[in-house]
Structure 1
Amino acid sequence: MVTRGGGKRLPLVLGLAAVAGIAAGVAVVYVREGGRGNQAATAVSDCAGAVKAAAALAPLAKGEVAAFQVADRPVSLAHLAFQKADGSAATLADFAGKTVLLNLWATWCVPCRKEMPALDRLAEAEGGTDFAVVPVSIDTQDPGKPKAFLGEIGVKALPLYVDPSTKIFSALKGEAMAVGLPTTVLIDGKGCALGVVSGPAEWDSADAKALIAAARNGA
């Protein structure tokens, strides 16, 4: 058929197919979002302010922490789970009210092993009621290796947390926040991501401490 304007009119069957395709796309979005539940949606909305706080950290992403990438959208990480040294369960929600430096590492990761002493010195110098370093090993084989390694380097302040399931890494990867090890995420007191560093950093350097201090003041 030809319309008055001279253009061709789509056959009815194609028109219906297009409508059906749009409806199907909406259905997929609805199912994915709906599956997260109201609790997840509320958690993300609580992180709206974190994006502004993250932007304020951008000028401090320099020197030893030049690789720090500020969060540009609200992401709640409070649900991320791992295990304590005694095997009991823990989540980042347990650190509510504290600025957290979450570090994912493994004993087979050479850069991870290299930066661990700096994380320990940072935890010893800055850890307290409003800040915590949370290193989570994702070793999947010998469960004794992470503890043995921390013992070898003589850590003084770092706790032992593990996730042999590696689900915590997969969760961060799903948020486009993890591509390899080490991965370190700065998180505010509500469990909201402020930014991430992919790769090692000198975490007890003046540059890192300035970045963390700014995050603590805004948490």
Structure 2
Amino acid sequence: MDRLLRYAIPTMVVGLLLGLLYVVFSGSQEGGNRDPIAKFAKGTLVKLDTSERGDLAPDAPFTDVNGETVTLQDFEGQVILVNFWATWCGPCEREMPSLAALQTARGSDRFKVVAISVDSQEDRDYAIRRLAELGGEGVLDFYHAPPEAWDVVYDSGARRGFPTTVIYDASGTKLALLAGEADWASYEAIGLIDAILGMQP
């Protein structure tokens, strides 16, 4: 019995210490390597994709509400959340009020929601009215990329239908993409934008 205790107790102590070291080391590794953006891929943002992180914002043209040509590179200096939407897309319309709420909550000279309608040229005026009706009036600026100007859509990586949302940092570098509908006024979304703003120089 004495011999058993003499060998068993040290073995148990060593085992416990090794287990403790493993837990501490694993936790520090996970914390150290955890992507500060990818960790928000949960809840309504579960489809958040950071696999194309690092791509630069395209210089493909689209137009503003006055018909003036702009590109995503014109927003350099601001974090931008680019949302490609259409009036014929039910999920696009459902999420638009939350995009307006996000712009209201966090919109500034450091952050902007850029809602780009992909409706046809013939439906442009209707899309302007619809954006206002969905909560964007006085909150979201209207931008337009009809099918013949979809280079900005494809070059942004939006190849899986609408809505698609792409986030770029203040230097015009892609951070994340989300294909599909989301609640952009949710706790996760607000936290994501705050985290990104905190990462900017």
TM tier, smaller: 0.7 to 0.9
**Do the aligned residues in 2 keep the contact of 1:98 with 1:132 (CA within 8 Å)?**
yes
- Residue 78 of structure 2 aligns with an amino acid whose one-letter code is K
Q: How many residues align?
A: 163
Alignment root-mean-square deviation, CA: 1.7
The equivalent residue for 1:157 is 139
Q: 1:106–1:139: 8 Å Cα contact kept in structure 2?
A: yes
Contact 2:93-2:134 within 8 A present in 1 as well = no
Deviating beyond 3 angstroms after TM superposition, the runs of 4 or more aligned structure 1 residues are none
Name the stretch that deviates more: 121-130 or 56-65.
56-65
Structure 1 CA distance for aligned equivalents of residues 41 and 56 of structure 2:
22
CA distance in 1, matches of 2:60, 2:110: 19
Aligned partners of 1:82 and 1:100: how far apart in 2? 15
Consecutive unaligned residues in structure 2, runs of 5 or more? 1-33
Match for 1:64 among 44, 54, 59? 44
Give matches, 1:45-194, under 5 Å.
55-140=35-120, 141-155=122-136, 156-164=138-146, 165=148, 166-172=150-156, 175=157, 177-194=158-175
Alpha-carbon displacement from aligned partner over 1:98-119 (angstroms, at most 9, x marks no partner): 1110000011000000000100
**Structure 2 CA distance for aligned equivalents of residues 63 and 73 of structure 1:** 21
Q: TM-score normalised to the size of structure 2?
A: 0.76
> Which ranges of structure 1 fall in alignment gaps of 5 or more residues?
1-53
Question: Letter of the aligned partner of 2:169 in structure 1?
Answer: D
Corresponding residue to 1:212 among 174, 193, 197: 193
Higher radius of gyration, 1 or 2: 2
1:59-85 deviations in Å (ceiling 9; x for gaps): 121112111111345210152421010
Q: Structure 1 residues 200, 59: CA separation in 2 closer, same or farther (over 3 Å shift)?
A: same
* Offset from partner CA, 1:167-188 (integer Å, 9 cap, x none): 222223xx4x431000001110
What amino acid is the match of 1:90? Answer: V
Distance 2:55 2:191 in 1: 23
Counterpart CA distance in 2 for 1:131 and 1:73 is 18
In structure 2, C-alpha distance between the alignment counterparts of 1:61 and 1:209, rounded to whole Å: 13
* Alpha-carbon contact 1:109-1:181 (below 8 Å) kept: yes
Q: 2:37 touches 2:192 (CA, 8 Å); kept in 1?
A: yes
User: Judging changes above 3 Å, is the alpha-carbon distance between structure 1 residues 73 and 115 closer, same or farther for their aligned structure 2 residues?
Assistant: closer
